[in-house]
Amino acid sequence: LRATRSQRNEFEQHGTALSKAVGFKLSSLPAILGAKGKQKNVSKLRLVDLLAQFVEFDTIALESVISSLQSARSITLNDVEAASKELNTSVTRLKQQLTSRGAGDMSLLEAYQPFLESAMASGANLVSDLQDLRATEKSLQLFLCADTMKLEEIISVITEALTMLSASIKDRAAVKLRSSSVCMSAPRQAAGRERFTMHRRSLQPSRPSVETMRQMFLQAANQ
C-alpha cells in the first residue's frame, strides 16, 4: 500500500483523472488503481498495470491473502460483538438458575459445571479477541488513512484493490506467454516458409545455363 501511494504521486505528475486530488483516502484506492494517464502512449495503462509491470509480487502469497480477506468480508464486527454479549449473558443466566436450583441438589450444578466453565472461558476469550480486533481497526484507520471506516469496510476495499492487482498480473503473464509463443514459433514459421519455397523451386523446371542455351541455339541453326 505504501508503494501504491508512492506510485500514485508519481503517476499523477504525468497526468491522471485524479490529478487534482488533495489527499489520499483508503476508500478511493480502487479508483486510484484504475486511473489512466492522459498521455497518448499511456492512455489505456492504469496505475495498477504499472504496479503489475514494475513491482515483483509473490503471487502465491497474494492469492492466499485475497482468499482470506474474501472469507472475512461477510463478517460484521458489530454483529459478532452483539452475539458475544448475548452468549455471555445466556451463560451467566444459566449459571444463576442452576445455582439457585442446586441449593438443595448440588449434583445438578456439578453435572453442568464443566460446561459452564468451558462456555465462560470461551466467552472471555472471544471478548478479548474482539477487543484486539477493535484495536487493530483503529491502527488500520490511522495507518491506511481510512478515517472512520469500519474494519469490514477496510477489508472490502483492500480485497477489491488486491483483486485488481491480481487480475492485472495474470493478464500481463498471459500477454508475456503469448509473446514468447509468437517469438518461438516465428523461426519455425520462417523455416517452414523456406522449405515450402525450396519445394516449389524443385517442382519448377531448372533454368538452363548460358552454355547450354548456346549449344541448343547452334544445333537448331545447323538443322
pLDDT digits (tens, 9 = 90+) for 50-69: 888 888 899 999 999 999 99
Decide if 150 is inside a domain: yes
Q: Which residue segment(s) compose the domain that 166 sits in?
A: 26-35+44-180
Decide if 220 is inside a domain: no
Decide if 116 is inside a domain: yes
Least confident of 69-78, 167-176, 179-188: 179-188
Decide if 5 is inside a domain: no
Please state, in angstroms and rounded to a whole number, the distance separating the CA atoms of residues 57 and 28: 22
Decide if 211 is inside a domain: no
- Amino acid 142: pLDDT: 92
Please state, in angstroms and rounded to a whole number, the distance separating the CA atoms of residues 131 and 125: 10
Cα dist. 171→41, 44, 147, 163, 210 in Å?
19, 14, 33, 12, 61
Classify 145 in phi/psi space as left (phi over 0), alpha (psi -120 to 50) or beta.
Answer: left
Decide if 189 is inside a domain: no
84-121 pLDDT tens trace: 999 999 999 988 888 887 566 677 778 888 999 999 99
In angstroms, how far apart are the furthest CA atoms of the chain? 146
Interior angle at CA 16, CA 42 and CA 52, nearest 5: 55
Q: Burial, 33: exposed, middle or buried (Cβ in 10 Å; 0-12, 13-18, 19+)? A: buried
Specify whether the CB–CB gap between 29 and 129 falls below 8 A. Answer: no
- Smallest Cα–Cα separation from 71: which of 149, 152, 138, 131? 152
Decide if 138 is inside a domain: yes
Decide if 94 is inside a domain: yes
197-222 pLDDT tens trace: 554 454 444 544 556 555 544 454 44
Total count of domains within the chain: 1
